[in-house]
Amino acid sequence: MKLIPLADRVIVKQIEAEETTKGGIILSSAAQEKPQIFEVIAVGPGGLVDGHDVEMTVEPGDKVITGKYSGTQVKVDGEELTIVRQSDILAIVE
């Protein structure tokens, strides 16, 4: 199954937590903190949304930070994805 976002929607996937610390200590899955960084998987076309013209500024492959409780979580082919509005994206990580 393939998801195609509409309007100003963006499909993102959470990046896996680090398994080791910078010092080389291996963390158990219970000790790993979920990262707030997501990878953009697909981007909608933008256009007229709620009476305003929206230009999409993110593109697939970008790493972004979203609001903590924003978006709708979906599971597609066993993969957990989140659909957010572009306005819910707080920053692009470089």
Residues 16-43 have pLDDT tens digits of 755 556 676 665 555 445 568 999 999 9
Closest to 39 (Cα-Cα) out of 18, 68, 14: 14
**Reported pTM:** 0.80
pLDDT digits (tens, 9 = 90+) for 43-53: 999 999 889 99
* Residue 62 · residue 56 · CB < 8 Å: no
Give the residue among 3, 4, 9, 5 at the shortest CA–CA distance from 54.
9
Q: How far is C-alpha 42 from the geometric centre of its chain's CA atoms?
A: 9
Return phi, psi of residue 79, to 5°: -110, 130
**In the chain, where the domains are located:** 9-16+28-93
In the CATH scheme, what is the code of domain 9-16+28-93?
2.30.33.40
* Cα(12)–Cα(22) distance, integer angstroms: 26
